[in-house]
Amino acid sequence: MKVYKAFAKVNIFLKITGSRGDYHEIVSRFMVVKDLYDELSFVLKEEVDARENVFKIIGDFSCLTEQNTIYKAYLALKKATSSQALETLTQTHALKVKKNIPAFAGLGGGSSDAATYLKMCNERLDLGLSLSELAQIGLIVGADVPFFIYGYDSANVSGIGEVVEEFHEELLDIETYTPKVEISTPRVYKTYRENFYNPIDAFETQRLKEMKSIDALKEMNPFQANDLFESALQGYKELKQHHRSGFHFSGSGSSFFRVKSST
């Protein structure tokens, strides 16, 4: 049984550059957290389950299967490929997920799981899809999924998440801390648009895209680095008591992170 790792990520910085309809356009540096990951594997269904011919996930999830990003990835892949092999796999095997990445945390756990599932199916079923094609399917599931499809350690992500450009730099040893505050990303973005909307210009966007992550963390405080931090604090008052000195804020939260000390 092959086990696949679905890594977490942090947003070194996350800045709003504009809007596209109901969506916000961003520029963000995504970096993988190598010591935090979910574990995914295909396992044979019990005989009684196999007769049901339904998609089955085995794991500790708080949502219904229909709301799970992995299930949404399955539907998107099914629509894109009409693969009979995918249907056969779904009938005979369940997807087992060992969850280690906290949910509603700004660490990309759901997106990483969905991306990893798509790559697993592509490999196991010999679908022959390129990473670019998988990323297009993944974008239907969520804006962060393409980053995890490409598998870069560090990347500049822009647009609404569909533009992923590898950034060559040393992977930082990142420590994360996630308080038990479940944050709604749509709610945080709504609060941002109503109260804090102030997109950066093209010059600042380009400057950030060229900056090493370690330098960005040294130059910017948590409010400067993440445009969503203030709106998250406004929407979730209890979040303030969890912020520790030296920690930055990832995504729409609720996780904080810092580079581990070398001493």
15, 45, 113, 144: the catalytic one is 144
95, 77 contact by CB (below 8 A): no
9, 15, 45, 119: the catalytic one is 9
Would you say how long the chain is, in residues?
A: 263
Phi, psi of 194 (to 5 degrees): -75, -30
In the residue annotation, 56 being an active-site residue is answered as no
Distances (CA, A) of 224 to 15, 128, 221, 248: 9, 42, 5, 10
Burial pattern 125-144, b for ≥16 Cβ within 10 A else e, equals bebebeeebbbbbbbebbbb
Closest CA to 251 of 171, 189, 190: 189
Phi, psi of 203 (to 5 degrees): -65, -45
In the residue annotation, 38 being an active-site residue is answered as no
Q: Which two tokens stand for residue 17?
A: 């550059």
Catalytic machinery residues: 9, 144
